[in-house]
Chains A and B, each alone.
Chain A
Amino acid sequence: MSQDQWETLVDELLDGVISEADFLRLEAQMRVDPKLRRRYYARLKLENGLRVEAERLGDSRVEPVIPLWRKHAIGLSAVASVALLIAIGVSGWKFGRVTGQDSVLNVEPSAAGFAVLSDYSEAEWDDGVRLDRGDLLPGGALRLNSGVAQLELFSGVTVILEGESEFELHSPMEMTVTKGRIRALVPPAAKGFKVNTATGEVVDLGTEFALDVTSERAEMHVIEGEIEWHPNASDVRSLTDGQSLSWTVEGEFTATGFSSNTFPRLEDFERKFLGQRQARKEAWESASEIMAGDSRLIAYFPMNLEDASSRQLLDGSGSGFHGTIVSARKAADRWDESGRALSFSPAGSRVRVSVPGVHRSMTFYCWARIDSLDRMYNSLFLTDGHDLHEPHWQIMSDGRLFFSVKKRESWPKDPDKHITYSTSFWDPSMSGKWFQIATVYDVDAQTTTHYVNGKAIGRDRISDEFIVDTVRVGAASIGNWNEPTRNDPTFSLRNLNGAIDEFAIFGDALSGEEIAELYEKGRP
């Protein structure tokens, strides 16, 4: 066979249409023919390259714009996949405020918003706005005072804001920037993405560009691809990669070239974001060591599962109340580090613990990721069964925290305990987000107080009739509930659909300030 005939077979192989006989022939030849193998490798590269290129070619087909190759452009999809990788373990999607969530169940939940904050580094927002990773961006004008923030618009556009900036999102395809430096990466699917400025608007034709906007002028640099500049009172201009344009309100302009490597690469931002996360995590690790030494601590599970096979969950308080993991799987913690949290989503998941002794005031504390609250009761920490003087801590399906200590055997039509509910803090728009959750049972003040992310969200006074000053825990479960009737194979589904990466029980009432401080130090 001629070289060309062999190559035809290679094409058929790569197209997935080769016959068995031809495959065997080709294989036999490839074993002895290094030249043919080299053709095979070359063909593979070509195929791979064509697939990558066709996407661009396909999208700018009418007038193919073939921008200068920049080495890291090929990495873009890789950056996205790495970002995905890092998000592994954080399942569930994050959507905005859910409306009408108290109404009938068959109403599909909806949310409002155009983008999420996908990452940030030292970002300070104006007006006390506080945004975490994965949060939906609120509507209206937003102002970033300092730091770097990365937004992912639902159209697929990635926008990075650097330093002081003012902007507003109008849709996933349009935003206004009144001030600031932004970087936009627009995938083919979001071609036509528009940025309004005081001097004109930028319409993107599938590209990566940088903008520096003030009220007097707009400066734009096309790093790759092409944009159109629609000045307020002048004709449209188009810019391609390597071109810069500065345009004043008066319509004066200067066009220049620039060197793309004067701009930070997207990987540099990614590194910065990762670095910040890492720094916060390390800061928390030192703070948590101090917490572990707190004499009020009864048990503390940081859930750092170094040993993959072990089902033992180490108690970091020094009390030696190690737990036993049942069914729960390793998951990523609130900094996205894998294997440092437990997911309680698999049916039957729980951590069995046994805490002896009699306690007065108590504090229950954890960091939890809630994927959904689809059970009537979603467990955080419950003692087995429901015996006298035992605490139960869980979340209701409507997003309210529940805490009680059983005071007496239940009499007909008469409550056996005081249940303290918080206001609702969760709806499906928060699925996949991490929360610090704490509840303080203060016998001396006769109160139960619920906290989420360092803020009190509900407090009840417990009357003399229901206060319990000898709280017992005994055998209990984190993330589930063990029912009293043990020989019955059916069980209620009460495991938390989500994950916990830190859990602590204190034998005392922590103050609101202490909870807030723990939140500040521990938030990712």
Chain B
Amino acid sequence: MDSKDPDAAIVSLLTQHQPAIHLYIESLLPGDRAAEDVAQEANSIIWEKRSEFELGTNFKAWAFSIARFQVRKYRFKQAKESRFVFCEELEEVIAEEMADTLEGISDHHLALRECLRKLKPADRDLIYHRYFKKTPLSDYGEKIGRSVGGLKVTLHRVRNRLQTCIEKRLAWQKGLGA
């Protein structure tokens, strides 16, 4: 890393770790749409505090500690009206384990992309509506003449299928010794 330009180094590290930071925060705020805002907030704090970071040390650990603090701060602000929150003990475990499972996110994305291609058109359409158009399942169900319950089950199965496919691909790549 170019020690003459620490800001550029931080930009590069921050960029490189964006997916991990986002995922890490999402793991602690499951199903909460504010996770995105908390991640942005964490980014600006990381940037503000960049002078405290020593180049060459573990950026991820440092960034995660800031992210974790931002999650707590957000929780604190939300206080009682908050959604369901994991108990502290479990959160501790998740924070730790999650930090370890965030290697190879780009491989994961690559695999996912391949797996999406293999979906049946109808399933891909469901994913499109769920994740891109963010259509409520009820509206989509009405449009294609299916019940919400049925769609939920399908969605769950499609996710499972993708999951299995990704795992296979990743294992296969590993087997190639890549």
Binding site for B on A (CB under 8 A): 4, 7-8, 11, 13-18, 20, 23, 27, 30-31, 37-38, 40-55, 57-58, 61, 64, 66, 69, 71, 74-75, 77-79, 81-82, 85-86, 88, 267, 270-271, 274-275, 278, 338
B66: Cβ under 8 A from any A Cβ: no
Closest chain A residue, CB of each to CB of B160: A7
List residues 102-138 of chain B with CB under 8 A from any CB of chain A: 105-106, 108-110, 112-114, 116-117, 124, 127-128, 130-133
A14 with B11, Cβ < 8 A, contacts A41-B97, A49-B112 known: no
Q: Are B156 and A8 in contact (CB under 8 A)?
A: yes
Report A-chain residues with C-beta under 8 Å of the C-beta of B44: 85, 88
Q: List 17 other contacts, CB 8 Å, given A11-B159, A85-B14.
A: A15-B31, A27-B84, A27-B90, A40-B94, A45-B105, A54-B128, A54-B131, A57-B132, A58-B128, A74-B106, A75-B16, A78-B18, A82-B11, A82-B43, A86-B11, A88-B44, A278-B5
B14 to chain A, nearest CB (A): 6
Mark interface residues in B134-178 (1 if CB within 8 Å of A CB, else 0).
Answer: 000000000000000000000110011011001100000000000
A4 to B40, CA, bound (A): 34
10 contacting pairs across A/B (C-beta < 8 A): A27-B86, A46-B162, A46-B163, A47-B26, A74-B106, A75-B15, A75-B16, A78-B15, A78-B18, A274-B7
A57 to B118, CA, bound (A): 13
Q: Are A54 and B19 in contact (CB under 8 A)?
A: no
B23: Cβ under 8 A from any A Cβ: yes
Report A-chain residues with C-beta under 8 Å of the C-beta of B112: 46, 49-50, 53
Report A-chain residues with C-beta under 8 Å of the C-beta of B8: 270-271, 274-275, 278
Chain B interface helix/strand/loop/mixed: helix
Q: Which of A13, A54, A55, A274 has its CB near the most chain B CB atoms (within 10 A)?
A: A54
Q: Which of B5, B22, B47, B132 has its CB near the most chain A CB atoms (within 10 A)?
A: B132
B35 to chain A, nearest CB (A): 10
Report B-chain residues with C-beta under 8 Å of the C-beta of A27: 84, 86-87, 90
Report B-chain residues with C-beta under 8 Å of the C-beta of A40: 27, 30, 94
Report A-chain residues with C-beta under 8 Å of the C-beta of B97: 37, 41
B48: Cβ under 8 A from any A Cβ: yes
A275 to B167, CA, bound (A): 41
Q: Are B12 and A271 in contact (CB under 8 A)?
A: yes
A20 with B84, Cβ < 8 A, contacts A75-B15, A271-B12 known: yes
Closest chain A residue, CB of each to CB of B22: A48
B93: Cβ under 8 A from any A Cβ: yes
A37 with B83, Cβ < 8 A, contacts A55-B132, A81-B18, A82-B15 known: no
Mark interface residues in B34-47 (1 if CB within 8 Å of A CB, else 0).
Answer: 00000010011001
Q: Are B26 and A48 in contact (CB under 8 A)?
A: yes
Report A-chain residues with C-beta under 8 Å of the C-beta of B124: 57
A54 to B116, CA, bound (A): 10
Other-chain residue from A11, A16, A38 in contact with B32 (beta carbon distance below 8 A): A16
A11 with B156, Cβ < 8 A, contacts A48-B23, A77-B18, A78-B18 known: yes
Report B-chain residues with C-beta under 8 Å of the C-beta of A54: 127-128, 130-132
Q: Are A52 and B109 in contact (CB under 8 A)?
A: yes
Other-chain residue from B5, B90, B106, B109 in contact with A53 (beta carbon distance below 8 A): B109
A75 with B5, Cβ < 8 A, contacts A44-B27, A69-B110 known: no
Q: Are A86 and B47 in contact (CB under 8 A)?
A: yes
A307 to chain B, nearest CB (A): 14
Q: Count CB-based A-B contacts (< 8 Å).
A: 156
A40 to B95, CA, bound (A): 12
B153 to chain A, nearest CB (A): 9
A15 to B31, CA, bound (A): 5
A43 to B160, CA, bound (A): 9
Report A-chain residues with C-beta under 8 Å of the C-beta of B23: 44-45, 48
Report B-chain residues with C-beta under 8 Å of the C-beta of A88: 44, 47
Closest chain B residue, CB of each to CB of A47: B26
Q: Are A30 and B90 in contact (CB under 8 A)?
A: yes
List residues 65-109 of chain B with CB under 8 A from any CB of chain A: 83-84, 86-87, 89-90, 93-94, 97-98, 101, 105-106, 108-109
Q: Are B11 and A271 in contact (CB under 8 A)?
A: yes
Closest chain B residue, CB of each to CB of A339: B48
Other-chain residue from B18, B32, B167 in contact with A74 (beta carbon distance below 8 A): B18
B166 to chain A, nearest CB (A): 7
Q: Are B31 and A14 in contact (CB under 8 A)?
A: yes
Closest chain A residue, CB of each to CB of B47: A85
A23 to chain B, nearest CB (A): 4
Report A-chain residues with C-beta under 8 Å of the C-beta of B33: 16
A310 to B40, CA, bound (A): 28
Q: Are A43 and B19 in contact (CB under 8 A)?
A: no
Q: Are A49 and B84 in contact (CB under 8 A)?
A: no
A74 to B32, CA, bound (A): 22
Report A-chain residues with C-beta under 8 Å of the C-beta of B89: 31
B63 to chain A, nearest CB (A): 12
A308 to chain B, nearest CB (A): 10
Closest chain B residue, CB of each to CB of A16: B31
Q: Are A71 and B106 in contact (CB under 8 A)?
A: yes
Report A-chain residues with C-beta under 8 Å of the C-beta of B109: 49, 52-53, 69, 74
Other-chain residue from A15, A38, A278 in contact with B7 (beta carbon distance below 8 A): A278
Report A-chain residues with C-beta under 8 Å of the C-beta of B11: 82, 86, 267, 270-271, 274
Q: Are B15 and A267 in contact (CB under 8 A)?
A: yes
Report B-chain residues with C-beta under 8 Å of the C-beta of A69: 106, 109-110, 113
Closest chain A residue, CB of each to CB of B14: A82
A14 to B163, CA, bound (A): 15
Q: Are B48 and A338 in contact (CB under 8 A)?
A: yes
B127 to chain A, nearest CB (A): 6
Report B-chain residues with C-beta under 8 Å of the C-beta of A50: 112, 127, 130-131, 162
A49 to B23, CA, bound (A): 10
Q: Are B19 and A48 in contact (CB under 8 A)?
A: yes
